[in-house]
């Protein structure tokens, strides 16, 4: 609403309004910066969350594979002991 208005026009009209107009411009610029910053932070937070979820899923898969491999290795190393126990 105030884009087309120049500060010189407002100063020519009234000095008090000019100060108010300058303050309004500053407040709007600050608000725009704050909104942009918060949007960027929200986007980054969403990306970080998705990355953490993905890495968590990968960890679960890697853990399951590691446990399976460790179990198979254990069974292979102690195959004779396991068979002796089964016969007992």
Contact 5, 24 (CB under 8 A): no
Those residues with Cβ within 8 angstroms of residue 22's Cβ, 6 or more apart along the chain or in another chain: 7
Domain boundaries, the chain: 7-87
Note the pLDDT tens digit of each residue in 24-71. 999 999 999 999 999 999 999 999 999 999 999 999 999 999 999 999
- pTM of structure: 0.60
| Rounded to 5°, angle at Cα 6 from 4 and 9 | 120
Distances (CA, A) of 78 to 4, 82, 88: 84, 6, 15
């Amino acid at each position: 609403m105030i884009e087309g208005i120049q500060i010189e026009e407002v100063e020519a009209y009234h000095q008090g309004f000019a100060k108010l107009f300058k303050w309004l411009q500053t407040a709007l610029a600050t608000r725009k910066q704050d909104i942009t910053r918060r949007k960027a932070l929200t986007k980054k937070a969403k990306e970080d969350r998705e990355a953490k979820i993905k890495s968590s899923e990968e960890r679960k898969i890697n853990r399951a594979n590691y446990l399976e491999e460790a179990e198979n290795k254990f069974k292979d190393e102690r195959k004779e002991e396991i068979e002796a126990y089964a016969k007992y």
